[in-house]
Amino acid sequence: MTSFESVTLEVSDPTTADAFYQAVGLGPYVDVRAASDVTTTGFRGFALSLVTSQPGNVDALIAAALDAGATTLKPATKSFWGYGGVVRAPDGTICKIASSAKKDTGPATRHIDQVALLLGVADVKASKRFYVERGLAVARSFGGKYVEFDTPTSAVTLALYPRRALAKDTGVPQEGTGSHGIVLAGAAGPFTDPDGFTWHARSGDRTHIVQ
pLDDT of residue 203: 57
pTM: 0.92
Q: Is the pLDDT of residue 205 over 50?
A: no
Q: CA-to-CA distance for 150 and 193, rounded, in angstroms?
A: 18
Q: Is the pLDDT of residue 38 over 70?
A: no
82 or 208: which leads in pLDDT: 82
Mean pLDDT of 94-114: 97
Exposed, middle or buried: residue 158 (CB in 10 Å: 0-12, 13-18, 19+)? Answer: buried
Order across the sheet with 138-142: list the strands: 71-79, 82-88, 94-99, 46-51, 114-121, 156-162, 146-149, 138-142
Query: Which DSSP helix (H) or strand (E) runs through 76?
Result: strand 71-79
pLDDT tens for 173-182 read 999 988 899 9
Mean pLDDT of the chain, nearest integer: 92
Going by pLDDT thresholds of 50, 70 and 90, the confidence category of residue 74 is very high
In DSSP terms, 7 is beta-bridged to: 30, 184
Q: Is the pLDDT of residue 207 over 50?
A: no
Exposed, middle or buried: residue 123 (CB in 10 Å: 0-12, 13-18, 19+)? Answer: middle
pLDDT of residue 176: 92
